[in-house]
Amino acid sequence: MLLSSRTPRTAALLAAGASVALLAAGAPQSATPLGIGDRLFPHLGNPGYDVRSYDIAFTYGGDNSKPLAAVTKIDAQATDRLERVNLDFSHGTVSSVEVNGEPARFATSQEDLVVTPARPVLPGLPLHITVRHTSNPMPGKQDVGWLRTKDGLAMANQADAAHRVFPSNDHPSDKAYFTFRVTAPKNLQAVANGLPVATTRSGPTTSWVYRTAHPMATELAQVSIGRSAVLHQKGPHGLPVRDVVPAKDTKALQPWLARTPGQIAWMEGKVGPYPFENYGLLIAEANTGFELETQTLSLFERDVFTRPEYPKWYVESIMVHELAHQWFGDSVSPRTWSDLWLNEGHATWYEALYTEEKAHAPMEKRMRNAYTASDGWRAAGGPPAAPKGPKDGEKISIFRPVVYDGSALVLYALRQDIGKEAFERLERRWVSTHRDSTATTADFVTLASQVAGRDLSGFFQAWLYGEKTPPMPGHPDWKSKPEQKQGAR
Ligand SMILES: [Zn+2]
């Protein structure tokens, strides 16, 4: 994610969450919301099973004020004996649940759907869950889940909003394959992560099926429905590049879309092969205040590309930020939300490196500025790998400067310490070793120490967990000021 901070967010964020209480009202006392104990989002995710795949069908009537009809099928494996199976879900009405082909009882408790199967589920055995439900794009303002665009819907689920859209094990530690089936009025176009499997026209509607070729975190799901054009081009070594844009803006956006293949080639030159089956931009008519690295199909606000005041290098740096996330955050996803600095620090790093190489804006200058602000960022947001929790009603407030430039600064310090050659080897090995998986801060420290040939745990302890910013290797004159106003990025 990259916050653009152009849109006032606070009012909308405070208005979110009202429907949770409604869902919880009918819950029997025995239905308890569970989580896997994420320090920042304790109720996200659920214990006792591992999801292999989701198959999610949405029927959209063409009206953003009405809930979509939906069926979510979850193919999982139980890891414990389960008398109840908790799923994360809010913002929809559940009409039925089946577990392994038999009807199951269900209740809602806070943001969990608590399912009681007819018989307990045993560890090691398959767990098939079918939930018939609605998916309501209305109550969520900007927190967000379904994002209401001018001509339809898109998704923005980071960090904890996928379960506003579909029942899930909504934590990036449980990645799974996804199939999306979307039925919409025939004048609209639906697109989702991954590659198209089938398109069927039937009277006034069209149905599309898309499937991911790689596992994906729930927070990175994307389904776009709108008056869109789907444009195809080729990336490096034949990689399919598919862009989804408002049909009326195709011509105006074309020069920007044409930049993507070169950006992919540049990233591949830095860290190795692009990790997925395709890539492209989803350009939506919505004012979100952020751009988002939804897997294989990054979400951008249309205004990023049409505002004359944005310099070309700036727009390209935003594109590269979301592209870099496909490696850092998507293919290698955080095991916990406290590992967020690995996503945003790296995306910011390549954003800054691209700008240095293409627009002659020195990395050193940007990092010196970040160093000056760093103590203030740490005071406001916590240290990079132990960020403060979200503010009440502002869940995405974990996206603070300390995880952006404040964490790119940690990577800069590391490069200063171990040298450019070792740093570049580490980056390549990181994305290849943990490809299609999840990884922790401790994994990064271990790999960095291996590549450098010495124990870097003391270095990282100070840089990732310290209240104060350690001295910058090679720049003993750099100073950090404790009281800095929080910047926009
Ligand atoms: Zn980001």
- The verdict on 386 and 420 lying in the same domain is yes
Span 206-249, pLDDT tens digits: 999 999 999 999 999 999 999 999 999 999 999 999 999 999 99
Residue 125: how many CB atoms within 10 A of its CB?
A: 10
45 touches 35 (CB < 8 A): yes
Tell whether the model's pLDDT for residue 6 goes beyond 70.
no
Query: What's the CA-to-centroid distance between 368 and ligand 1, angstroms?
Result: 21
DSSP assignment letter at 164: G
Domain check: are 241 and 359 in the same one?
A: no
pLDDT in the model for residue 149: 97
Compute, in angstroms, the gap from residue 405 CA to the centroid of ligand 1: 11
The domain in which residue 346 lies consists of 333-465
pLDDT of 31 reads: 84
Residue 243 is assigned to a structural domain of this protein: yes
Work out the pLDDT band at 13, boundaries 50, 70, 90: very low
If you measure from the C-alpha of residue 344 to the centroid of ligand 1, how many angstroms do you get, rounded to a whole number? Answer: 5
Q: What integer pLDDT is reported at residue 357 of this predicted model?
A: 97
Same domain, 359 and 316: no
Q: How do strand 298-301 and strand 281-284 relate by DSSP bridges?
A: parallel
Tens of pLDDT, residues 430-487: 999 999 999 999 999 999 999 999 999 999 999 999 999 999 999 999 999 876 455 5
Counting residues of the chain whose pLDDT is more than 90, the rounded percentage is 88
Rounded to the nearest whole angstrom, what is the distance from the C-alpha of residue 53 to the centroid of ligand 1? 26
Question: What local confidence, expressed as pLDDT, does residue 138 receive?
Answer: 86
State the distance from the centre of ligand 1 to the C-alpha of 205, rounded, in angstroms. 36
Q: Is the peptide bond before 144 cis (omega within 30 degrees of 0)?
A: yes
485: in domain? no
Tell me the pLDDT tens digit for each residue of 117-154: 999 999 999 999 999 999 999 865 557 999 999 999 99
For residue 194, pLDDT beyond 70: yes
Point out which residues pair with 56 in neighbouring strands: 72, 180
Q: What is the CATH number of the domain that holds 99?
A: 2.60.40.1730
Mean pLDDT (the chain) is 92
Could you tell me if 249 and 117 lie in one domain? yes
pLDDT in the model for residue 5: 52
Residue 27 clears pLDDT 90, i.e. is over it: no
Give the CATH number for residue 368: 1.10.390.10
Ligand 1 mean position to 328 CA, how many Å? 9
Cα-to-centroid distance, 325 and ligand 1 (Å): 7
Picking from 450, 381, 374, the residue whose alpha carbon sits closest to that of residue 413 is 374
Sign of CA dihedral 204, 192, 243, 288: positive
Based on the fold, state whether residues 428 and 399 are members of the same structural domain. yes
Task: Give the torsion sign (CA, 225, 244, 269, 234).
Answer: positive
How many residues belong to the chain?
489
Count of domains forming the chain = 2
Q: What confidence score (pLDDT) does residue 3 get?
A: 84
241-275: pLDDT as tens digits: 999 999 999 999 999 999 999 999 999 999 999 99
- C-alpha of residue 291 to centroid of ligand 1, in Å: 8
Cα separation values, 253 from 245, 266, 482, 484, Å: 8, 21, 42, 37
**Cβ-contact 62, 184 below 8 angstroms:** yes
Q: Which whole-number Å values give the CA distances from 399 to 5, 15, 58, 391, 489, in the listed order? A: 11, 19, 30, 11, 9
The neighbour count for residue 69, using CB atoms within 10 Å, is: 17
Distance between Cα 238 and ligand 1 center (Å):
26
Evaluate whether 257 touches 230 at the Cβ level (below 8 Å).
no
Q: Which residues contact 318 (CB under 8 A, 6 or more apart)?
A: 2, 4, 291, 300, 304, 351
Instruction: Please indicate, yes or no, if residue 95 is contained in any of the structural domains.
Output: yes
Does residue 304 lie in a domain region? yes
How much is the pTM? 0.93
pLDDT at 199: 98
402 shares a domain with 319: no
Res. 10 pLDDT band, cuts 50 70 90: very low
Distance 300 CA to ligand 1 centre (A): 12
Q: Are 384 and 403 in contact (CB under 8 A)?
A: yes
Task: Label residue 347 by pLDDT band (50, 70, 90).
Answer: very high
Contacts 24+ apart (CB under 8 A), 473-479: 473/413, 473/416, 473/417, 474/416, 475/368, 475/371, 475/416, 478/368, 478/371, 478/372, 479/371, 479/372
Same domain, 206 and 276: yes
- What is the Å distance from ligand 1's center to 454 Cα? 30
* Maximum Cα–Cα distance across the chain: 71
Residue pair 230/243 in contact (Cβ under 8 Å)? The answer is: yes
Ligand 1 centre to CA of 40 (Å) is 18
In a domain, 480, yes or no: no
Are 337 and 319 found together in one domain?
A: no
Q: What is the pLDDT of residue 26?
A: 38
Q: How far is the CA of 301 from the centre of ligand 1 (A)?
A: 14
Indicate the residue among 305, 327, 349 that finishes a domain. Answer: 327
- In the prediction, which pLDDT does 419 show? 98
Express each pLDDT in 394-426 by its tens digit: 767 899 999 999 999 999 999 999 999 999 999
39 & 168 share domain: yes
pLDDT at 55 over 50: yes
User: How remote is the CA of residue 280 from the centroid of ligand 1, in Å?
Assistant: 16
Query: What SS3 string covers 217-285?
Result: CHHHCCEEEECEEEEEEECHHHCEEEEEEEHHHHHHHHHHHCCHHHHHHHHHHHHCCCCCCCECEEEEC
Tell me how far the alpha carbon of residue 459 lies from the centroid of ligand 1, in angstroms: 25
From 327, 361, 389, the end of a domain falls on 327
Calculate how far, in angstroms, residue 111's C-alpha sits from the geometric centre of ligand 1: 26
Q: What local confidence, expressed as pLDDT, does residue 7 receive? A: 35
Provide the 8-state DSSP code for 9. Answer: -
The Å distance, Cα 61 to ligand 1 centre, comes to 32
pLDDT at 369 over 90: yes
In this predicted structure, the answer to whether residue 12 has a pLDDT above a threshold of 60 is no
Q: What is the CA(276)–ligand 1 centre distance, in A?
A: 18
186 φ, ψ to 5°? Answer: -70, -15
Q: Which residue has the higher pLDDT, 392 or 188?
A: 188
Q: How far is the CA of 403 from the centre of ligand 1 (A)?
A: 9
**Within a domain: 470:** no
CA distance 468 to 139: 41
Share of the chain above pLDDT 70, in %: 92
CA separation, residue 119 to residues 46, 85, 418 (Å): 19, 11, 56
Rounded to an integer, the average pLDDT of 6-34 is 44
Gap from CA of 189 to ligand 1 centroid (Å): 27
Q: Which residue type, as a one-letter code, is found at position 321?
A: H
Nearest CA to 212 out of 295, 146, 283 is that of 295
Ligand 1: centre distance to CA 115 (Å): 35
Both 88 and 157 in a single domain?
yes
Whether residue 385 is found in the same domain as residue 321: no
From 267, 297, 327, the end of a domain falls on 327
- Distance from the alpha carbon of residue 201 to the mean position of ligand 1, in angstroms: 37
Residue 49 lies in a domain: yes
For residue 471, is it within any domain? no
Query: Is the same domain home to 193 and 262?
Result: yes
